[in-house]
């Protein structure tokens, strides 16, 4: 038992453990779907940066990306998958128990 929390920290899911992706997943947990522009304006990052992070999350199977149109303009909708949700919650629980043990 004992300092097992440090091995859990070291084994943290790298797909999630990236600030921008933590923020993306946090937003996606509270809405059923979000569009690209909504995420971009909430996160205040460049479109290219958002695009590549979404690709990473999609490749990992953590989000689903649906390309549609609003009128004649492209509209990209993003939602978290069950797997993404589960792994994100696990991630949060590990962080939480780490914080608890840190005594902060």
Partner DNA sequence: TAAATTAAGTTTGTATTGCAAACTAAAATT
Partner DNA sequence: AATTTTAGTTTGCAATACAAACTTAATTTA
Binding map of DNA across residues 1-30, x = CB under 7 A, - = no contact = ---------x---x---xxxx---------
CA–CA separation, 92 vs 16, rounded Å? 10
The entry of its own copies, DNA, none near residue 54 (CB within 5 to 8 angstroms by kind) is DNA
Integer Rg of the chain from CA: 16
Binding map of its own copies across residues 23-62, x = CB under 8 A, - = no contact = x--xx-x------------xxxx-----------------
Is the CB of residue 19 less than 8 Å from the CB of residue 70?
no
Shortest distance, position 20 Cβ to its own copies, whole Å: 6
Tell whether the torsion through CA atoms of 33, 20, 55 and 40 is positive or negative: positive
* Strand order across the 73-80 sheet: 34-35, 73-80, 63-70
Residues contributing to the site for its own copies (CB under 8 A): 3, 6-7, 9-12, 17, 19-20, 22-23, 26-27, 29, 42-45, 89, 92-93, 95-96, 98-99, 102, 104
């Amino acid at each position: 038992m004992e300092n097992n929390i440090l091995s859990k920290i070291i084994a943290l899911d790298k797909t999630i453990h990236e600030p921008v992706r933590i923020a993306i997943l946090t937003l996606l947990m509270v809405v059923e779907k979000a569009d690209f522009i909504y995420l971009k304006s909430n996160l205040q990052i460049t479109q290219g940066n958002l695009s590549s992070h979404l690709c990473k999350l999609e490749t990992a199977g953590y989000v689903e990306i649906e390309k549609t149109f609003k009128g004649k303009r492209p509209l990209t909708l993003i939602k978290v998958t069950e797997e993404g949700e589960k792994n994100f919650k696990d991630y949060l629980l590990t962080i939480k128990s780490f914080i608890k043990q840190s005594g902060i």
